[in-house]
Structure 1
């Protein structure tokens, strides 16, 4: 079940986010990536100030995604799935629901690291196309992707 997160979910979302991003931190050799150092107050503000969806299973939050509308572009961030639920379609379901819940968006923009192959496969499968890359340091190149209304993914 996917629904809108509320302020009271911030703590559980932060815990989930930290669990989900540990693998990314190890992949890039950086324990200080923003999702791991974000505070509870920052997560609460994100929930209160934008669109945050949560995926639930038996009352447990097993995934979440954030979105902020900027004009007609939806900025997507912090897609997280519990480590024990990755590869089971939770991330896909969250993004598909987000696409449906922000119909005024003509484009959805997100980014990930160049070594995050599973993320890149997921985004491409859902109709996102690479728009650019930016080398941040010797270990990280950020890959920017966009999905527009004419880049709809294949049917489920």
Structure 2
């Protein structure tokens, strides 16, 4: 019987594995847009550690290996900004990205400050867009950041808030 994937809060010791995984996972995005200077590929270990300090980060582990990760933080307006949802290529298409998205939303659903969830992805990132839409996210803005490259911002309300409003 194989090992199962577990999801837990990241620790400071996970930073190097997260950074290596991030570098691996964003290669496809860089190729898709013809831009290898995107922030996930140029982020330093020190920058990542600082980001981990100011956000809530989850990792999915297969044994001791970090195979997926996601980060989020609530801003002053009460928006939980979800970022860098990454899944190792060999673990993709098995629901792990959706599990991580549900887990990070669940963490912030208990926070009174989290009035909404928001994330962004590139306009050509169909797999990501499909995942986010299937989890209730809807596009709220598109920003042209370079010729041939636009960021799509998607948003949704916390489930508890939606349920309470419909009751």
What TM bracket, shorter-length normalisation?
over 0.9
3-state SS of paired residue (1:102): helix
Deviation at 1:151, TM superposition (A): 6.1
For structure 1, the residue ranges without an aligned partner over 5 or more in a row are none
Q: What does residue 3 of structure 2 align with?
A: none
Q: What does residue 124 of structure 1 align with?
A: 133
**Bigger shift: residues 44-53 or 110-119:** 44-53
* 8 A contact 1:128–1:151 mirrored in 2: no
Q: Deviations over 1:81-126 (max 9, x none)?
A: 1111111111101010011111221211110000000000000001
1:146 aligns with 2:155: yes
Q: Deviations over 1:61-98 (max 9, x none)?
A: 11000101113210110111111111111110101001
Whole-Å Cα distance in 2 between the matches of residues 90 and 18 of structure 1? 18
Q: 1:98 to 1:32 in 2, by over 3 A?
A: same
Deviation at 1:59, TM superposition (A): 1.6
For the aligned residues, what is the CA RMSD?
Answer: 1.2
Taking structure 1 as the reference length, what is the TM-score of the superposition? 0.93
Q: Which runs of 4+ in 1 moved over 3 A?
A: none
* 8 A contact 1:127–1:151 mirrored in 2: no
Whole-Å Cα distance in 2 between the matches of residues 41 and 10 of structure 1? 9
> How is 1:1-156 mapped onto 2 (pairs within 5 angstroms)?
1-71=6-76, 72-103=78-109, 104=111, 105-149=114-158
3-state SS of paired residue (1:88): coil
Whole-Å Cα distance in 1 between the matches of residues 57 and 47 of structure 2? 13
Query: For the pair shown, which has the larger CA radius of gyration, 1 or 2?
Result: 2
Taking structure 2 as the reference length, what is the TM-score of the superposition? 0.87
